[in-house]
A and B are shown apart, each in its own frame.
Chain A
Amino acid sequence: MSETATKKLMLFFPRWKSEKPIIYHLVKDHNLVVNVFRARVTPEEEGYLVLDVTGTEDDIQRGVDFVKTFDVTVNDTDKGVTRDADRCTHCGHCVVHCPTDALVIGDAAKRDVAYDPECCIECLACIRVCPYGACASAF
């Protein structure tokens, strides 16, 4: 058994035309465990799919190559949810609503609110509750 890894993928569909069940193939043909965070897939419209894929490095690579055979833009670096550090007042209103501690009180003395995008599961709670519009979604 080789080591497994998890990779976050953001797929943008200029227009959803494919008949092919992408996720089915990622699971079935490439042995990947798929966890979908967010999706908007409507026939004949622009859409997106944000998911985590877990598997061996090789399987992930083959999965990404497979996805790229469709008419989609694969974004595997950017995060879906961003927090504008200048706009953030570090009030801490979002902290209790963030289910994964991606937003937490950082330094106990300075009482700033730290954001770790790696922990974010894009539940969008922070966007809903932040009074200052500091959190935003790519979609």
Chain B
Amino acid sequence: MKTYEQINDRISSGKAVVLTAEEIIDYVDEKGLEAVAEEVDVVTTATFGPMCSSGCFLSFGHTKPKIRMSEAWIEDVLAYTGVAAVDVYLGATQTRHGDPANMYYPGEFRYGGGHVIEDLVAGKTLQLFALSYGTDCYPLREIRTYFTINDLNQAIMVNPRNCYQNYNVAINDSDKTIYTYMGCLEPNRKNVNYCSAGQLSPLLNDPFYDTIGVGTKVWLAGARGHVYAEGTQHAGGGARTPEGIPKSGAGTLALTADMKQMKPEFVRGASLRGYGISVGLGVGIPIPILNADVLKRTCIRDRDILAPVVDYSNDYPQNTGNVIGHVSYEQLRTGEIEVEGKKVAVGSLSSYHKALEIANLLADEVRRGDFLLNAPFASLPKDTVMKPLAAREKP
């Protein structure tokens, strides 16, 4: 048994023993759970993939005379201005003004919110165009100017939903190619795409949310951030394996961090053909090894994590709830799975390569004494399920 204080003392003195969620598996196999629970202080988890429910609050300074922006575009990408005078929210999936979207199907979606976020973090100069209806206190009606992230007072990433605990494996049952947020799916079950870091993924290493909760410190694209709420669509109450691993999406996290500290290689604008814009984000979360139970859960391996195979030509869009079957991440990572007796090629949208890089970077930061841990101040719910939206007549 260790406390957060004891673990932090070891981190601060540069003595903490830190392993990644991949390394810990063999280490425990070799040395035994109890011994490792004493020895190891922190296990690092990570993931990298498109996270559509991401965005940022940007606070521009005041112009002379002042403006209360009522409409604003950054590089022609619309930002939401229904907040105070020079604050805007820019969402990752926002398309650029004039983008033909899917008019010429499948649309290319070359540039949008996710790319603006990437360019901001990369320090590029961007164009702001804003309009206003003008008020006595904010008379300016229009501004066009150029800025970098360093000109902003604040650039705070605020992502309502990141880090899905587990995720669907998408397949196409129809006889034509379909273009989805899960990528391009060839007809007649020719390929599947999955999107999870599996055994490295944060919430799969803490399936009951013992250490990851509201207030937990996270590594978000290189910056120090934290979990500010349960993520949208968080549904901890779904079906689980005997080891407690959810068999569907389940938990999610709402994350925030200062964009000025982020590293561009972990913030990547994404264009999903025929679907739209997103942003590829890297997240790392350290798990304090408080006891043998916590440690045991970080030893989860790809073969024990099952993901649901879902048809994205009909079942997903029509919300039928049908699941074709389950496959393990170990099977997925071989590059080929079997679905109802047929061999299917496997592609991925999540980058295990980058997740591994992040888990190692975070482990180094903890070892160096640069990243302290904290207990969450509220737990994520374990019993909630997702509600549908009913289309009702006016009561």
Q: Which residues of A contact B (CB under 8 A)?
A: 86-87, 89-97, 105, 110-113, 128-129, 131-133
Contact = CB atoms under 8 A, between A and B. Distances in A.
Given A89-B280, A96-B346, A112 B353 contact: yes
A92 B49 CA distance: 11
Contacts of A97: 184, 186, 191, 347
Contacts of A86: 265
B351 A131 contact: no
A96 B280 contact: no
Interface of B: 48-50, 110, 183-184, 186, 191, 193, 265, 268-273, 278, 280, 333, 335, 345-354, 356
Contact of B347 (A89, A92, A133): A92
Given A91-B351, A111-B356, A129 B48 contact: no
Contacts, number: 69
Nearest to A129: B184
A90 B353 contact: yes
A96 B349 contact: no
Contacts of B280: 89, 91, 131-132
Chain B interface mostly: strand
Given A111-B353, A131-B270, 17 more contacts: A86-B265, A89-B48, A90-B352, A91-B350, A91-B351, A92-B347, A93-B347, A94-B347, A96-B346, A96-B347, A97-B186, A112-B353, A113-B353, A128-B184, A131-B183, A132-B268, A133-B271
A91 B349 contact: yes
Nearest to A104: B335
Nearest to A108: B333
Contacts of A96: 186, 191, 345-347
Chain A interface mostly: loop
A133 B278 CA distance: 13
A89 B47 CA distance: 12
Given A93-B193, A129-B273, A131-B183, A105 B351 contact: no
B348 A92 contact: yes
A49 to B, nearest CB: 25
A129 B265 CA distance: 20
Given A97-B347, A131-B278, A131-B349, A89 B268 contact: yes
Given A93-B183, A110-B356, A131 B272 contact: yes
Contact of B335 (A105, A110, A129, A132): A105
Nearest to B265: A86
Contacts of A110: 353, 356
Contacts of B347: 92-97
Contact of A95 (B335, B351, B353): B335
A95 B348 CA distance: 9
Contacts of A87: 268
A56 B354 CA distance: 45
Contacts of B348: 91-93
B271 A131 contact: yes
List of 5 A-B pairs having minimum Cβ-Cβ separation, nearest first:
A90-B353, A131-B270, A96-B347, A92-B348, A96-B345
A76 to B, nearest CB: 31
B351 A89 contact: yes
Nearest to A89: B351
A75 to B, nearest CB: 27
B354 to A, nearest CB: 6
17 contacts: A89-B268, A89-B280, A89-B353, A90-B351, A90-B354, A92-B348, A96-B186, A96-B345, A111-B352, A111-B353, A111-B356, A128-B184, A129-B273, A132-B268, A132-B269, A132-B271, A133-B271
